[in-house]
Structures are given as structure tokens and as C-alpha cells.
Structure 1
Amino acid sequence: ARKCQISITSCLLLPCGVHLLGNDNSIVAASSFGAHIYRPVLRPLDVLPLIGTYNVTNPRGELCVKATLGAQYIVIIKKKSWFFNLDPLKVHVSGSCHRESAVLSLTLPDHAASLQFTFKKENNLFYVTKLTASLSPLPVCLGCANETYLGLVSPGKLFAASYGRSFRCKSTNVLQTSSEMSIKLVFLQMQAFGVPGGHYGEVDECLADYNQRIIPIILWAVAVGLLMIGVLTFLLLKENRTRGYERL
């Protein structure tokens, strides 16, 4: 992306002697001392995030967590929604793998943003027990305070799938992590505690995808059923009228 230089006329947002180099999604603050600080930029427009695939391996080099998703941070500031999309090319992936627990962490430079999934294995099932998020963006206006937004979702069993299979949800998931921040996940697919050959297993789809797939089939079946009832009713009425004419 084309870089642009933004001049700073006030020292309210960043220390004096700092200039900014950035693109559409992020800003790198560069000081005269050579320090560079990555800062996300909140935008007023909701744009679909890029999709990335992230892997965690165990100490033996075996893939134990694989996740494909697009992530967007939604921040409420003075009753207005602001958006920041996680850029897969800038994400640092880390995590850990154990027999019954695993962690996938996605972090931007300088910890400007993070997203962490905690997985648990229980019997023949795996699921996400906790999702934590943080975002430290540039202020949206001159004079606005620097804020770090923190959030947590701990629903119990989120994105559950059978062991050896993958969870997939093409529908959009919006998870409220705090009163000020939500996380939107799109085109989500994940598998934990073993990904043989590095490929996703058979799919356990989310309820929203199931409903989108099955409801049109149900409506079509109902329409066909009503049509058949109408045709049979017409034929029966026609037959009764014919018999009435014969008696006359």
C-alpha cells in the first residue's frame, strides 16, 4: 500500500518529535530516536476483513491447532461504531498444545492488537472455552484520549466439534467482549488436538449455516406440499361434480 506522511501539529496524541507513516489499516509512529510503534487505525466504514490461516504445532512439530478466519474489531466510541480489520500478513502466531488444552494467539506488532482462543478437549469433543481480545488504536480525533480496549468471552462451549473433525461457520459471528468492543469473525473454520496431514477433517457446521441450508429446503417442501393439496382438492371437486351430473 502507498505510504503517506502525516504531520503532527500538537503533542497531545504522541510525543513531540514524532511523525507517522501509515496505510489504510495501521500507523507506524517513528520518533527521532529511531523507535517505531505500530498503532491500528479505526475506520468508520465496515469492510469485510481478509481471511488468514493460522497454525500451532506441538514440540514434536505436529500440527495441533489450525484456524482459518477473518477478524474485525468493532469499537463503540461516543455511541458511534468504529472498525479495525486484522491483517493476516502482520499477525504473529503463537500458542501452546497440551493433552486436553491448547491456545492460539494472534498478535500484531507492539501488542497493538491481540486475539487469543483457548481450546479444551473433553471426551470426544473439542471447543473454545475462552476468547480474549485487546486493541490499542490511535485516537479517532485530536484531543481524544489514548485507550486500550480489553474484552473477554467465556461462553462455556463455543465452536464445538467432534474430535478429528473441524468446526466451520460461513455465517458471520459477532461476539461482544465488553461494553465497548465486539469481535466479528467471518468464514471461520478450526480444528484442535490433531490435524492429520495438515488438512481439515469432516465438517461440523454451525447452527446458522445449518438453518440457511435447511430452511430453503423446508420452504420448498411446504410449497410443493401445498401445491399437491391444491391439485388433489381440485381433482376431487371435479370428480364430485362429474358424478352429480351423471345422477341428473
Structure 2
Amino acid sequence: MTQLGGVQSWCLGVTLQLVLAAVLHQGFATVAPPTTAAPHKEPGRPEKGNYHVYGTNNTACLLASMGLQLNITFSSVSQNKTLQEVVNLQPNMTKSSGSCTEERAILKLTTDSDKTNLTFSFTLNTTTNKYHLSEVSLVAVRPDTKEPFSTSNSSLDYLQGTLGYSYMCHQEQTLDVTQVLSINTFQLQVQPFGLEGDHFGAAEECQLDEDDMLIPIIVGAALAGLVLIVLLAYLIGRKRSHAGYQTI
């Protein structure tokens, strides 16, 4: 029985290590937002909006469905220090526009009164039939700055997908644009090329979603293995116990 207890303890220890490794893997896979320059109040999870761009023949050439949260670092005039502001884009107050060519698709999101202009530019490699988010720019009028907030980056490599397929990521992910701007996306699905009608093509899921699905599989397999090993150890121990009562 002492040997059986030792086997069970070993199995439990191995299972706990597998579960802990899976949880730590998920923690490391999640992209952390940049550190803040000053404490701020989070506005909560943004509402998901549906945005589209139509080409010259009046057919959709870009579709996007996502919740967007802007993390802006700026110099406050009244407080004379650097602050970070977190702003959710509200779909009912945001208009979408843009343009498409064979190798470039642009989505422009403009809030009411043109106070915020956020632009996403996607590039298609016609040799590999792969696309990615290559540029993001933001111009926003803030009430506590000397001039409109403006920043951009044209050397990005996010949201990589295949021509004819959409890119999907249900998990929250952070796109680091510049030192003063990062964007949190929620329940994102986007397709800038190869659309057939006004609907998304088959989805290619992001690594964060795949990791999120992998954890329950690892935990379930570890628990199933533990049950099997304990059952085998019990049967072996019981067989040996009965063998001890046989007459020599």
C-alpha cells in the first residue's frame, strides 16, 4: 500500500506540473500593454463594431469586425506632466471609409465631429498571397494638449493572413504602434483582400486563440492519464495483496 500511495503522489505531482505549465504558457503568450506613465481609469471592454470599405465597382473590398481601445500617452498642459489616456472607440459614433487597390487596402475610422481619425493600412504580397497590417496612424484632438495628438508607424507586421481568408482573434491582443500609442483589439475579424460578396472568407485563427483552446486539452489529457495510472496501480496493488494470502 505504501508503494501504491507513492505512485499516486507521483502521478498527482506530474499532473499539477502539466497544468501549471499550461497556465504559465498562456500567461507568457498574452501580449502585455505598455507601462503607463501615470495611473488612469480603465473604461472597460469596448463594444464591437462592424466596418467596411467599398471599391470602385460598389462591392466590398475590406471587412472588419472588432472592438478597439486606444492607449494614448500625451503631455498634459494643465497638469504639466505626461499622462496616459485609454479611449474606447464607440461604433455608433464612428464612420468607416477607405480605399482598395490590388496590393493595398486602407480602412479609415472617423469619430463624430472628426475629433479622432484612425487609419489602418494593409499590404498584400502578390508573390506569397499573404497580407498583413503594415501601417497605423492616429490624429486625435484632445482637450488638454497644445495641438492635436498625431502619431504613425509604417513598418508594422501585425494581423497576418492569407489571400481569400479572414484573420480572426477573439482574445484581447495589443498592437504596439509607437511609444505613445498602442491599440487593444477585442473579438477581431478582418479581411482586406480576396472578398467574395459582403461576408468574410474562412477564418485563420491567431496564436492566442489556439493557445486558449490548448489549455483545456492539456488539462483534460493530464487528468485522464492520472485516472488511468491510479486505476492500474490499484489493480496491481490489489493483485499483489491477494497473492500474499496464497498457501505455499
**TM-score, normalization by structure 2:** 0.72
SS at match of 1:126: strand
CA distance in structure 2 between the partners assigned to 1:225 and 1:163 by the alignment: 41
Instruction: Tell whether the 8 Å contact from 2:132 to 2:160 is kept in structure 1 after alignment.
Output: yes
Equivalent residue, structure 1, for 2:232: 232
Provide, for residues 18-64 of structure 1, a one-character-per-residue CA deviation record: whole Å limited to 9, x for no partner.
xxxxxxxxxxxxxxxxxxxxxxxxx8332222221111111111211
CA RMSD in angstroms comes to 2.2
Alpha-carbon distance change, 209 to 103 in structure 1, aligned in 2, over 3 angstroms: same
CA distance in structure 1 between the partners assigned to 2:211 and 2:229 by the alignment: 26
Equivalent residue, structure 2, for 1:116: 119
- Of structures 1 and 2, the one with the larger relative CO (CA 8 A, separation 6+) is 2
Alpha-carbon distance change, 246 to 126 in structure 1, aligned in 2, over 3 angstroms: same
Equivalent residue, structure 2, for 1:48: 45
What's the offset of the Cα at 1:67?
0.4
CA distance in structure 1 between the partners assigned to 2:61 and 2:154 by the alignment: 22
Unaligned runs of 5+ residues in structure 2 are 1-39, 75-80
Q: Are 1:86 and 2:83 an aligned pair?
A: no
SS at match of 1:197: coil
SS at match of 1:177: strand
**As a proportion of its length, which structure holds more strand?**
1
The counterpart of 1:59, out of the listed 56, 61, 68, is: 56
| Percent identity between the two aligned chains | 28
Provide, for residues 132-182 of structure 1, a one-character-per-residue CA deviation record: whole Å limited to 9, x for no partner.
22322112xxxxx43533333556531122222211111112223233332
SS at match of 1:236: helix
Alpha-carbon distance change, 247 to 104 in structure 1, aligned in 2, over 3 angstroms: farther
What's the offset of the Cα at 1:240?
2.1
Unaligned runs of 5+ residues in structure 1 are 1-42, 140-144
Instruction: Tell whether the 8 Å contact from 1:149 to 1:180 is kept in structure 2 after alignment.
Output: no
Aligned pairs for 1:214-225 within 5 A: 214-225=214-225
CA distance in structure 2 between the partners assigned to 1:247 and 1:147 by the alignment: 97
Provide, for residues 188-240 of structure 1, a one-character-per-residue CA deviation record: whole Å limited to 9, x for no partner.
11012132121112111111111111211111111111111111111112212
Instruction: Tell whether the 8 Å contact from 1:149 to 1:181 is kept in structure 2 after alignment.
Output: no
Alpha-carbon distance change, 147 to 72 in structure 1, aligned in 2, over 3 angstroms: farther
**As a proportion of its length, which structure holds more helix?**
2
Could you list the structure 1 runs, at least 4 aligned residues long, displaced by more than 4 angstroms after superposition.
77-80, 153-156
